Structure 1
Amino acid sequence: MRRRLLVVLSGFALAAVAGFAVPLLQSTAAGRTQEFVLVRATDLDRFAALAQQATGPSGADALAQEVQAHHVVYGEGVVVVDRTGRPVVEAGMRADEPAVAAAADAALRNQPAAHPERLQPWSRAPILLARPVGTGTQAGGAVVLRAEPGAAAADIATSWAAILAGAVVAAVACAAVALLVARWVLRPVRELAAGVGAVTAGRPNAHVSPHAGPSELRELAVAFNRMSDAVATSADQQRRLVADTSHQLRNPLAALRLRVDTLDPHIAAAGRRTYRSTVVEVERLEALLDGLLDLATAESRATDLAAGADPPARADLTAVVTERLDAWRPAAQHAGVRLDAPASPGPTDVACAASELEQVLDVLLDNAVKYAGRGATVHLAHQRGDGRVRLEVRDDGPGLPAADIPHATRRFWRAPGGTARGSGLGLPIAERLVTARGGTLRLASPPGAGLVVTIELPVPS
């Protein structure tokens, strides 16, 4: 946008400078040409008057002296002929030259003299000017002057150089003004774009300066700051509501679980099925509350990280993977699932807290053990490259349909027809923790290959 704005403003500025400079150049050349022609026409009139008065030897000598002096001073040739075309005085050129003879013949016939073309800085060709001698219809002779335009062309070149220099200065000044205007207009736009990105990332107090740019952008900045505060307040209230509600429900749920457990010895055989269903639902409520608390914690941690409130974290991914595999092997063996990982490649540091990494791996391993199915194998592998560490959790279970992949990280979403119970918050929590650390979480389900979860995390700086 900045480039386009600069191009438009610079184009208008250059067009305005050219609109002033080009006519000024033409006017300067035309004025100097007119001055040149008038001076030479005056010289022609003076020579014609002397030729008309040269009736005796003394008059002829005076004419010859004037012509010769002009030739010596200005370096221009002059020829005076009588009514028959015979030369009377010659200085610097001859009357029998074809161009001179043609000009003299035209003057003797009283033909209008052709106006010379406008002089340019590079004009160097001599210009022939002719005038008849006498004032009547019958010319008594003719004067031909070969004018040299070198001095006038040099004057035009000097004037043009000054005009062009001024135009260049004006163009540079206009470009500087265009740059300042572009910065003045676009700086608030860039700040607003950065503010939108900050709000999207969940950063609180994402404000922009309301004092830069045009009044319309300043008003927009004020409105954006109000919106940012409203979004931050709403998000904070939502997180507090989830956390407070979960905490408030935990005590009644614990009391309910205690009472349900105490009823176990007193349940008759006919009510056992209903009792077991009740216990399962209580356990589901407990898992849901735990998920809500974990989600609120993940959201709070992501907000703190976006605001820069927490120091950079570091964890050894290899050690965390090994520890979590050992922790999950009994549950996996009970579910008939085999956990597999290659030999340890050595310490692999990632920019993530160890507790968050453990929570993410627990979510992925829990899903794999629950949904891969008996006899499945869950394979974990990680590698480092291009400043990031890639962790892949792959199983050979049934996977997910391609249409369900985009929904898997949505809160409270569960696969249709699934038999395993869950809160639908595991993957959303894992994704929030990973993205808060500048990483990515992707899901894929290639045909016949089960579910593949790929996590990328940056390495510590």
Structure 2
Amino acid sequence: MVLVLLGLGVPLALSLSGSAYQQLSLDRLTLTARLASLGQRALLDGTEGELAATLDRYREVYGFTAALVDQDGRPRAQTADPVALTEPPVREGVNAALSGREPLPSGTFWPWQTGPLVLAEPVLVDGEVRGAVVTVSPVDGLRGHVLFLWALVAAGGLAALALAVLLSLPVVRWILRPVDRLERSAEQMVATATAGAPYVPVAEESGPPELRRLARSFDEMATTVSEVLAAQRAFVADASHQLRNPLTALYVRLTSLDGAVSEDAADDYAASVEEARRLNDVLEELLTLAKTEASAATPVPTDITAALEDRVDAWHAVAASRDIELLAEIEPGLVAVAVPRAIETVLDALLDNAVKFTAGSGSTVELTARREGERVVLAVRDTGPGLAPEELARATDRFWRSPRHQNVTGSGLGLAIVHRVVAKSGGHVRLDLPAGGGLRVTVEFPAQPA
């Protein structure tokens, strides 16, 4: 629409400007020709004084200055406000008239032009140029008139543009409504799929056919992804649940053989018991992870201080049994927004790793919890071997374990569970290698607004 308006408005504005200038030029040409005929009589009769009075009357009526010059360019009669015959435009016009050329004014006028309109008509006596009449007309009035016309054209163009925008808004909304719904659905799809909630289709019967087909294709894709993720979670949960009872029974049967195994098979027996226990732990963590991913629980305000103090009391005994000192610094009155039992699950997984990997008796595990701005920050640091810097990004992957920890019991699911629980609560997990060795895991939960 802007291009159309420019394509129509600019030529129209130029045409109006040229028309106004042409009208003024024709008017001044007629007056100049009339004065040239009067100048002819004055040169023949020697009545230049009468012509000067006539020129003054023309100046009063039409607002221009004029002069009669002889064939040598000397002024013979002019208005009381004399013409500056030495000015370049005037001098060029007079010279052209004395050479016998008729005035040919330009057909284009720009409002920013400041020079006057100069017209010079030759005075002929018996076909011979005997002098010239020159008129100098100011263009202030023409400039104001042209600017007014251009303002009208611009106002009309802006009004047309505004009308076009108003008329196009319903059409644009109709076209973009499916795109807007697709955008919102794409933003919510990941959260919906990971939370285990059913996908809500976005396709509707409004909008262009191409966008309706796109919305239907997106619905089919999103529904398929949600169903696949749900089937995956269901399989993990069902498989873990179905295997847990046989493995528990196997573990109980193996442990009941304690003391009944010959010395030659004692090592194999101990390894079997350990493997059964390890498989049972892996299944328990798989069930926890599956329940976490399938849970559609909404984050709620949680008393962080009370939950942490309760779990720290429970883990003090575990740490003490391994000659590890558990140091806890918990700020009172901490309240965060988290899914139910998120704090207990996260702290159990972090303290289990910290106690398991802390090296040597007399070592310490540090727990801090405090509020920082709009976040509640929970950090657990151990003094174990830690991780290599390039391994930090992979530490929260499922079943991943550092090569240096292969001799330590574990399934590689602890930090993965922490990451999923914290993500569902709207927080995030950060791992770093503090000075002095070990590993520090920092968890941030959204703080309850004051």
| Alignment equivalent of 2:232, drawn from 232, 238, 245 | 238
What secondary structure sits across from 1:351 in the alignment?
Answer: strand
TM-score, scaled to structure 1: 0.79
Q: CA deviation at 1:452?
A: 0.9
Question: Size of the alignment, in residue pairs?
Answer: 440
Match of residue 279 from structure 1: 273
User: Against the structure 1 CA distance between its residues 79 and 329, is the aligned structure 2 distance closer, same or farther, given a 3 Å change threshold?
Assistant: closer
Match of residue 166 from structure 1: 156
Match of residue 435 from structure 1: 423
Match of residue 23 from structure 2: 35
User: Against the structure 1 CA distance between its residues 284 and 71, is the aligned structure 2 distance closer, same or farther, given a 3 Å change threshold?
Assistant: closer
Once residues 159 and 77 of structure 1 are traced to their aligned partners in structure 2, the CA distance between those partners, rounded to angstroms, is 27
1:332 equivalent to 2:332? Answer no
Counterpart amino acid of 1:295?
A: L
What secondary structure sits across from 1:341 in the alignment?
Answer: strand
- Residues 350 and 457 in structure 1, CA contact (< 8 A), matched pair in contact too: yes
Moved more, 279-288 or 41-50: 41-50
| Alignment equivalent of 2:331, drawn from 345, 350, 355 | 345
Counterpart amino acid of 1:271?
A: A
Q: CA deviation at 1:361?
A: 0.9
Q: How does 1:195-214 map to 2 (within 5 A)?
A: 195-201=185-191, 202-203=194-195, 204=197, 205=199, 207-209=201-203
Once residues 51 and 28 of structure 2 are traced to their aligned partners in structure 1, the CA distance between those partners, rounded to angstroms, is 17
| Alignment equivalent of 1:423, drawn from 370, 393, 411 | 411
- Residues 5 and 157 in structure 2, CA contact (< 8 A), matched pair in contact too: yes
Once residues 397 and 87 of structure 1 are traced to their aligned partners in structure 2, the CA distance between those partners, rounded to angstroms, is 111
> Which consecutive unaligned segments of at least 5 residues does structure 1 have?
1-12
TM-score, scaled to structure 2: 0.81
Match of residue 3 from structure 1: none
Match of residue 264 from structure 2: 270
Moved more, 198-207 or 185-194: 185-194
Match of residue 61 from structure 2: 73
- Residues 381 and 441 in structure 2, CA contact (< 8 A), matched pair in contact too: yes
What secondary structure sits across from 2:426 in the alignment?
Answer: coil
Once residues 326 and 94 of structure 1 are traced to their aligned partners in structure 2, the CA distance between those partners, rounded to angstroms, is 110
Q: CA deviation at 1:409?
A: 1.5
1:286-323 per-position Cα deviation (integer Å, ceiling 9, x unaligned) = 1111111111111112xx14xxxx3x422222222221
Once residues 247 and 2 of structure 2 are traced to their aligned partners in structure 1, the CA distance between those partners, rounded to angstroms, is 77
Q: Percent identity?
A: 36
Once residues 69 and 356 of structure 2 are traced to their aligned partners in structure 1, the CA distance between those partners, rounded to angstroms, is 122
Moved more, 92-101 or 347-356: 92-101
C-alpha RMSD over aligned residues: 4.0
Q: CA deviation at 1:223?
A: 2.4
Match of residue 299 from structure 1: 293
Match of residue 395 from structure 1: 382
1:228 equivalent to 2:217? Answer no
Q: CA deviation at 1:158?
A: 2.3
1:238-277 per-position Cα deviation (integer Å, ceiling 9, x unaligned) = 1111111122122322332343344445433333332222
Match of residue 386 from structure 1: 373
| Alignment equivalent of 2:359, drawn from 357, 373, 378 | 373
Q: CA deviation at 1:339?
A: 1.0
Counterpart amino acid of 2:293?
A: E
What secondary structure sits across from 1:315 in the alignment?
Answer: strand
> Which consecutive unaligned segments of at least 5 residues does structure 2 have?
none
- Residues 438 and 457 in structure 1, CA contact (< 8 A), matched pair in contact too: yes
1:49-76 per-position Cα deviation (integer Å, ceiling 9, x unaligned) = 566689999x999989976764443244
Q: CA deviation at 1:194?
A: 4.2
